[in-house]
Amino acid sequence: MAKKQTKDDTTAAFEKAVKSATTKQKFVLRLYVAGINPKSSAAIRNITALCEEHLQGRYELEIIDIYQQPTLAMGEQIIAAPTLIKKLPLPLRRFIGNMANEDRMLVGLDLRPKNK
């Protein structure tokens, strides 16, 4: 007779699958900033710390100043800065702001399941 799966079993299985999948994947991130200002500096600091803690050795972070490279910003349709784009692994995701909410960033980057 098969054991009935509980919600905890399902959650644990999901967390294990996410952890297994994300430990092998390389993350490609682009952070668009508008010059050197407090918001840009905070976003750079926050996303760098998050990547070093959770993606060490498995990420590529490119920082792009939209004032110096406006064509890249137009190509990505950047309408606010700072904006972080997760290019890989799919799905593509965008984050706007200073990236200070670590839990929200981890869920958005698929590094932690969303709590209900």
So what's the pLDDT on residue 1?
Answer: 52
- Please give the Cα distance from 75 to 80 (Å, whole number): 14
Per-residue pLDDT band at 21 (split at 50, 70, 90): low
pLDDT at 20 over 60: no
Is the CB of residue 59 less than 8 Å from the CB of residue 31? no
* Residue ranges of domains in the chain, CATH in brackets: 27-108 (3.40.30.10)
Question: How far apart are the C-alpha atoms of 90 and 78, rounded to whole Å?
Answer: 19
Whether this model's pTM surpasses 0.85: no
pLDDT tens digits, residue range 44-71? 999 999 999 999 999 999 999 999 999 9
